[in-house]
Chain A
Amino acid sequence: MTSFEQHFEDKINNEVNIEPRDWMPDDYRKTNIRQISQHAHSEIVGMLPEGNWITRAPSLRRKAILLAKVQDEAGHGLYLYSAAETLGITRDEMIEQLHTGKAKYSSIFNYPTTSWADMGAIGWLVDGAAIMNQVALCRTSYGPYARAMVRICKEESFHQRQGFEILLSLVRGNATQKKMAQDALNRWWWPSLMMFGPNDDNSPHSAQSLHWRIKRFSNDELRQKFVDAATEQAKVLGLAIPDPALKWNEERGHYDFGEIDWEEFWNVVKGNGPCNKERLDTRRKAWEDGEWVREAAMAYVEKRKNRSQKAA
């Protein structure tokens, strides 16, 4: 081990954060770039399923809330892109990796939002699952990533609460509305559990990431925490979680739950989910349609620079 490596390991072991200009192993840099950029892409693509309902929100109140939430997700994407940039990758490179499919984003956003109740289920479950993950990441070892996470976590709790409140209104409504809420839960439950990734014994990068404190808890640990919390919350809504195997285990002090359909999981990861193509096409189109704006803004700056140089 070189002295650089030793110094790095010491910091990791003593819970000292790694900062952009510090020496770090290549793999640590690469793993962080991969994880942070994929996290950023998830925030950005994650705006699409909810953006779908902004114009059709059932009231002005709901519309303002949904708009604010989606705007927050844009902000989260921006915090994370700039955290990744401190590791030496450019914004354009990351966006290109998203558009070519080289970089992944969270598969949950490849499911369609077919009813208003989905806005409730997404806030409650999808943001809820994201929060489990993100709270743990507030203590991740790479400084800029940890700071972005702290900022994000402060904003996320409103996301989950507004979603839960949407479902609460629906279950207190008429029979059709209650059915809408149940239907949304049925469709979003399993994909939400998949958000935590493969089981620990099938998660190849996990051990190294845990050692480097890039990850603080394993996929299965976080998934269990989420199941325990969400099961209790579902009782308040009076909705049934679509898992016949879900049962309190006194001995473990946790809920047991059924096996995830891993075939579906890998299928969506590989690009064959219901909306993978639509999501990427939308992102690419937004990027291409915005190209003239990006160019015009720079051209305008250049022109003004030249003019003030001439005047001086």
Chain B
Amino acid sequence: MTDEKKSTSEWPLWEVFIRSKAGLDHKHAGSLHAADAAMAIENARDTYTRRMEGVSIWVVESKYIHASNPDESGALFEPANDKIYRHPTFYDLPDEVKHM
């Protein structure tokens, strides 16, 4: 199929993560196409940091990202729902107790 040939001639897709300033995490900014990692970083600079939005860039080829399946999000995340004792507000302490 011609479509197949076409999509394989595309430059690979990369996911871009940007640290907006020192001390903060890298955060997903978006994606872009580039032939290799060096080009992906350059393109990410031009595409996602034209207004000093970043001090550091990570790129990873999209095919290496493994994601959880939204259909299984119940099984994955619901077990945390009934464990409210993991939160400090669960514990009822007298007002006299300070600095806790």
A interface residues with partner B (beta carbon < 8 Å): 19, 21-23, 68, 71-72, 75, 78-79, 82-83, 85, 90-93, 96, 147-148, 151, 155, 294-295, 297-298, 300-301, 304
Task: Give every chain B residue within 8 A of A304 (Cβ-Cβ).
Answer: 36
The prevalent SS among residues of A at the interface is helix
A92 & B6 in contact (Cβ 8 Å cutoff): yes
Among A71, A96, A297, contact of B39 (Cβ-Cβ < 8 Å): A297
Among B6, B30, B51, B70, contact of A155 (Cβ-Cβ < 8 Å): B51
B interface residues with partner A (beta carbon < 8 Å): 3, 6-7, 9-11, 13, 30-33, 35-36, 39, 46-48, 50-51, 67, 69-71
Among B10, B33, B35, B47, contact of A75 (Cβ-Cβ < 8 Å): B47
Cα A300 to Cα B11 in complex, Å, equals: 12
A92 & B10 in contact (Cβ 8 Å cutoff): yes
The prevalent SS among residues of B at the interface is mixed
Q: A21-B67, A22-B70, A148-B30 are in contact. Are A298 and B35 (CB under 8 A)?
A: yes
Task: Give every chain A residue within 8 A of B46 (Cβ-Cβ).
Answer: 71, 75
A78 & B32 in contact (Cβ 8 Å cutoff): yes
A-B contact pairs, 19 of them (CB 8 A): A21-B67, A21-B69, A21-B70, A23-B71, A68-B50, A75-B47, A78-B32, A79-B30, A82-B30, A90-B10, A92-B10, A155-B50, A294-B9, A294-B11, A298-B9, A298-B11, A300-B35, A301-B35, A301-B36
Task: Give every chain B residue within 8 A of A301 (Cβ-Cβ).
Answer: 35-36
**B30, chain A: closest CB distance, angstroms:** 6
**B20, chain A: closest CB distance, angstroms:** 13
**B38, chain A: closest CB distance, angstroms:** 10
Q: A19-B70, A21-B67 are in contact. Are A85 and B36 (CB under 8 A)?
A: no
Cα A78 to Cα B31 in complex, Å, equals: 9
**B94, chain A: closest CB distance, angstroms:** 39
Cα A96 to Cα B9 in complex, Å, equals: 14
Chain B residue nearest to A305 in the complex (CB): B36
Cα A222 to Cα B13 in complex, Å, equals: 35
12 new A-B contacts at CB < 8 Å, known A78-B32, A90-B7, A92-B10: A21-B70, A75-B46, A75-B50, A79-B47, A82-B32, A83-B30, A91-B10, A96-B6, A147-B30, A148-B30, A297-B39, A298-B11
Q: A78-B47, A294-B11, A297-B11 are in contact. Are A93 and B33 (CB under 8 A)?
A: no
Cα A301 to Cα B69 in complex, Å, equals: 32
Cα A148 to Cα B28 in complex, Å, equals: 12
Task: Give every chain B residue within 8 A of A83 (Cβ-Cβ).
Answer: 30
**B61, chain A: closest CB distance, angstroms:** 12
A90 & B31 in contact (Cβ 8 Å cutoff): no
Cα A151 to Cα B6 in complex, Å, equals: 30
